[in-house]
Structure 1
Amino acid sequence: MPGDRQREGIVTGIGLRENFLPTRRAFGGWTRLGFRRPRRETRAVLQVGARFGVVPRDRADRDVAELSGGNQQKIVFARALADRPDVAVLEDPTAGVDIGSRAVLYDLMHAAARAGTAVILISTDFEEVAAQSHRVLVMSHGRVAAEFPDMTAVTADILAEASYATTRSSA
């Protein structure tokens, strides 16, 4: 999942349907031969939108630009997680969204992990990493600079310190 939803995650000017379904056969909108089934596609878009908490969910053809940033991010989450991948890489998944949407996105992230998806959270928000992770690797120049296998006593300040120490020492 890209970190910049506006540039890399959604396509404005087109509907929810097209943003949800660019490559998704598993949503049931296409036959095995690649033919579209518009009614099934619409039903699938509305069901996935409901499952991921996208509002409003009244029309599959609603322009994605009409939605809030949090709802746009939920669409990106849905597209990344709806097929229950083995691994999901989420880059700054809550950047620029309101606190209510953050809570929903965290719930979706944890639900994916409980369902067996290995969730890799890449974030510049140390508080987010400390609160949402069970193991943390601090990276510097493509190498692991610090590892925190048990997050029970790790805070955002500790993560920031580890990150800044690697930045200073490698400069």
Structure 2
Amino acid sequence: MDGPVLRQLRVNGRAYEPPADPRVSLLDFLRDHLRLTGTKNACDQGACGTCTVLADGQRVYACLLLAVQCEGMDIVTVEGLAEDELGARVQDAFVRYDAMQCGYCTPGQICSVVGLLAEWRDGVPSAATPDLTAPLDRLTDAELGERMAGNLCRCGAYHHIAAAIREVAGT
């Protein structure tokens, strides 16, 4: 007879048992159960991107996922990105370019930028990519706008955010 199945959710490189209640969102699990409060709650309906985290390297809205859906995945929050070379570079660029004003959306923006840069470097096109056969050698205004469209900034720091992204991307 086999033993019990161990349920596991990895967050920032550490293993955790998912909540017993299957209705707990990933956002609530991160904030309320793990006390990782960098991930913010603004709309609770996937409309603003404030709760963006990385799940197996892909950008996701933590408010739209149940924690139990993330079993077996590697979840990275803004706190985990502080230990990541690319994440630290993005955070430093945000500071240098004053890419945050109130700062509330910044953790989600930073997670989204890390995901965006991985997609871009892997050659994943966006809806704004004009030629799907050409290499993605430059992040144009259209590409940046399309790729960051899921993250809103109520303060309007978009030009500063774009400058920070361009510095890290080297374009």
Shared fold, TM over 0.5 = no
Which protein has greater RCO, CA pairs closer than 8 Å, 6+ apart? 2
Could you tell me the TM-score, scaled by structure 2's length?
0.31
As a proportion of its length, which structure holds more helix? 1
Work out which of the two has the higher radius of gyration on C-alpha atoms and give 1 or 2: 1
